[in-house]
Structures are given as structure tokens and as C-alpha cells.
Amino acid sequence: MFKLYSYLFLFFIIPSTGHAQNELKKYVKSEITQFSDVSTATPDFLSIQKAIGNSRIVMLGEQSHGDGTTFQVKTELIKYLHEQLGFNVLAFESDFFALTEGGEHIGKDRESIAQFIKGNLYPLWSYSEECRDLLYEYIPDTYQTAHPLLIAGIDNQMHGRYTADSLKNSIDKLLAKNHLKYYESEEYQVFFLPFIDKLWPLNYKPTRYLDSLARTDFTKELKEFQRAVKEIQTKLPDSLKLSASYVALDNLAEFANEIANQGKRLSHDIREEQMASNLKWLVQTKYPYEKIIVWAANTHIMKNTQSSFKNPGLNTVTMGGYFTSDSTLSSQTYVLGFTSNYGKTQTALKASQNTPPLLIRKSRKYGFENWIDKEIKYAFIDFQAFKRKNPLFMSYFKLKARGHSNMAARWTELFDGIFYIREMHPSHFLKNSN
């Protein structure tokens, strides 16, 4: 009897799933918006504008951090969003304090802006030739207008030169204002401030390979640092908790927790949740009246990831998931993923070492990318519009948006729309760069 029910279940569910997927396939073929080129002139992104609607936050992804063609497409999209729709803040998956607070103190001339970007934005983008136009031409030009495109960061990991030069002093000033007991203690001077330096990537990573005793001592220090931050946070007045310095202090505590749990899924979750918290602060506190563009990997901006992948091992919560768990923020956000059929990918720094680029194999026969005509170079598909017509659609289908790998997922739950690139070209090292 059990076998009979199983066969009946398969009999009904398989045709239903196949039919639903065919509905999406038909929609893609009929409602797709194609672009012949996106680099020689400002493209007509009216279809994307219509899809975004009144959204305050637009997240732009990338399959990997070496996708040069995606960087070029995103550059044109950002120009359009800034000029046509009034998006005035660009938040990168990069050092929160360096870009957000440091951005308040840079000069408005081209050279100052260029040096700031090179010193504080991850070299994945700041040293990519494909980002030259955006970072070193377009953004500096906007600073000569009444509506500059401001730069911010959302990552809790330290990287930037401004952070190295100013973070400890900024935290010191924050605590000095309130004459905290801990601030006046010997532990603060001997342990707390110096320990911040240990959280820099070049300093903490080698510790992982020391003997077990040293590792145990470092873990104790990480926990002690987290305890100290919590003690400080409970003593500070709420008025100071709105500052970038306070958020940076919170980032340090969560990063210490992230390091303490390296190798565990918890470490991943801590970073994702903290990036979402940083973005929420930008949206609600720093720039409550501005429209914000987020530049990050597809794997960070995806939402509803707890149960959308066919492989349950991939179902972890992401920055986009944490951020859009707030229904108000979700209603204000459009998540645009990127995918490609074939080509090559390579980060800028790998390119500088003359490392051969990685080959991106063509999408599998039944993959989403093969639903699109082979002659189409660039295209946009609005998943939100499809779901309004098909509210019960929850089918799995294969797409290459997660690191160029064909994966089965409920992709219409993960992204609000997809930008398709037929052939991906790698990122190149910035020319004439010191």
C-alpha cells in the first residue's frame, strides 16, 4: 500500500513540477528584455527601472569576484540608477569603517578620491581595469556636482588604510566622552586597544597554525575581547550607539566571534548577519532619506536561502536573507542576481600574477541559461513579475548564479530578477597602477 501511494505521489508531482517549469521557460522567452551592448553607450534600462519601481535599496550581485563583464554591466546600471532614479549611495561588500566613516573625510578632487578608493576598497574591485570607469572617472566626476555618488561599506572585516590609521583613535574618543570605568583601567590600555591589531587578517591567520596551546590562548583572548566590548556597550548611552564608531566597535566584537568559530557554519552566519546589520544602519540611520545601491556577491545578496536549494547543505542564511527578514526593508528592496553561460573569470590580483583565468563551462542542457536564445548577448528577466502571475510557483530549476556552478534551486525565491550575460570575460589588473 505504501508503494502504491508513493507511485501516485510521483505520478502527480512530476508532471506538475515539469509544467510549472515550462511556464517559467515560456515567460523567459516571451518577456525577456535583451541588450545588444552595455559598454559603448548608456543602455536603455527602462525594463529594469519598471521592475525596481519605488525600491529604496537595489542589490547588484556577481557570480564571482573575477567577473570583468559583470563589473562593466554594473557600472552602467549604477550610472543609470544614479542619474535617472536618484540613487546617491553605493555600498560595497568591503570595510565598513574605512569606506563609510573615511568617506566623510576625503577630498573632492580626482586624485584624493582615487587614492582613497585604492587604499580602502578591496583590490578585487579597486585594482580591476573593468572598474576603472566607475571608480576613477564617474564617481570623482559626481563629486563636482550637487549630487555626488557617495561610497560606503558593509563588511565587518578590516581592510582599509583609513581603518588602520583611525579606528582605534575613534573608539578611544568614543569611550573618553563618557569616562567609563573600563576605559580608565590598565586592561584597556594593555590588552583591549593592542588586541584590535590582532584582528587584522595578516595578524590573526598565522595563529591558526600555531600549536594547540597558543591556539587555546588566542581563543581565550578572543572571548575576553568580546566580553570587554559587551561591558562597554552596556555602559554607553543610547545616543552614542548611532555613531559609526559604535557600529565599528560592534563589528570588532562580531569579527572576534567569527574568528573564534572559524571552520564552522556559525562563522559564516556571523559575518552575514553583521553585514546585514551594517546595511540596515546605513539605510535607517546614516542615510534615511537616500536610495542605496549594494555591490556584493550573489551569494551574499540572495534571500530565502534557508530552504531554497535542492541540496540542503547549501541552505544557510545570507546577508540578503537577514536584511529582508524585516518586512518593511524587504518591501523596499530589489535583489538583482547575475548569471552567464560560458567564458572566463579571474580576479584582478590573480591577473597581475599572470595566472591563467578559470574556464567557465557552458550551462548544462536543461539549465536556465539555455532557455535564452544563443544570439542574445545581454538580457534581463524580472522574476517578481512572473511570480505575480504565478504566485504558487515554487519549482527547482538549474541556474549558474552561485559561483558559476549549475545548481538546482527555487531561484525565483532567491532573486527578484536576473541579468544574463552570454559570455563572461575576466577581470584584468588596473593599467598604469602603482
In the three-class reduction of DSSP (H, G, I as helix; E, B as strand; rest coil), residue 363 is classed as coil
Q: What band does 350 get if pLDDT is binned at 50, 70 and 90?
A: very high
Q: What band does 123 get if pLDDT is binned at 50, 70 and 90?
A: very high
Distance of CA 68 to the CA centre of its chain: 16
User: Mean per-residue pLDDT for 343-360?
Assistant: 95
In the three-class reduction of DSSP (H, G, I as helix; E, B as strand; rest coil), residue 153 is classed as strand
Q: What band does 365 get if pLDDT is binned at 50, 70 and 90?
A: confident
Residue 434, pLDDT above cutoff 90: no
CB atoms within 10 A of CB 32: 18
Q: What band does 348 get if pLDDT is binned at 50, 70 and 90?
A: very high
pLDDT at 8: 45
Q: Model confidence over 258-311: pLDDT tens digits? A: 998 888 889 999 999 999 999 999 999 999 999 999 999 999 999 999 999 999
Q: Dump the DSSP string for 21-45.
A: HHHHHHHHHHH-EEES-SSSS----
User: Mean per-residue pLDDT for 242-256?
Assistant: 95
Residue 15 vs residue 364, higher pLDDT: 364
User: Mean per-residue pLDDT for 174-188?
Assistant: 86
User: Mean per-residue pLDDT for 198-207?
Assistant: 70
C-alpha 128/C-alpha 348 separation (Å) is 5
Residue 413: Cβ-neighbour burial (10 angstroms; 0-12, 13-18, 19+): middle
Residue 20: Cβ-neighbour burial (10 angstroms; 0-12, 13-18, 19+): middle
CB atoms within 10 A of CB 407: 19
In the three-class reduction of DSSP (H, G, I as helix; E, B as strand; rest coil), residue 131 is classed as helix
Which of 2-6, 58-62, 303-307, 351-355 is the least confident region? 2-6
C-alpha 12/C-alpha 10 separation (Å) is 5
Cell numbers for 107, please give them.
Answer: 577630498
CB 368 within 8 A of CB 421: no
CB 38 within 8 A of CB 76: yes
Question: What is the share, in percent, of the chain residues with pLDDT greater than 70?
Answer: 91
pTM of the model: 0.93
Residue 157: Cβ-neighbour burial (10 angstroms; 0-12, 13-18, 19+): buried
CB atoms within 10 A of CB 319: 29
Q: What band does 12 get if pLDDT is binned at 50, 70 and 90?
A: very low
User: Mean per-residue pLDDT for 333-344?
Assistant: 98
pLDDT at 14: 42
Q: Model confidence over 16-40: pLDDT tens digits? A: 456 678 899 999 999 999 998 776 5
Strand 57-60, strand 417-424: pairing = unpaired
pLDDT at 179: 73
CA 392 to each of CA 10, 27, 43, 83, 169: distance values in angstroms, whole numbers, following the listed order = 19, 15, 34, 37, 54
Residue 130 vs residue 206, higher pLDDT: 130
Q: What band does 9 get if pLDDT is binned at 50, 70 and 90?
A: very low
pLDDT at 44: 80
Beta-bridged to residue 95, according to DSSP, are 155
Q: What band does 218 get if pLDDT is binned at 50, 70 and 90?
A: confident
Q: In b/e form, how buried is each residue of 347-380, taking b as 16+ CB within 10 angstroms?
A: bbbbbeeeeebeebeebeeebbbebbeeebebbb
C-alpha 304/C-alpha 4 separation (Å) is 34
pLDDT at 177: 79
Residue 134, pLDDT above cutoff 50: yes
pLDDT at 201: 79
Domain 2-158+292-424 class, CATH top level: alpha beta
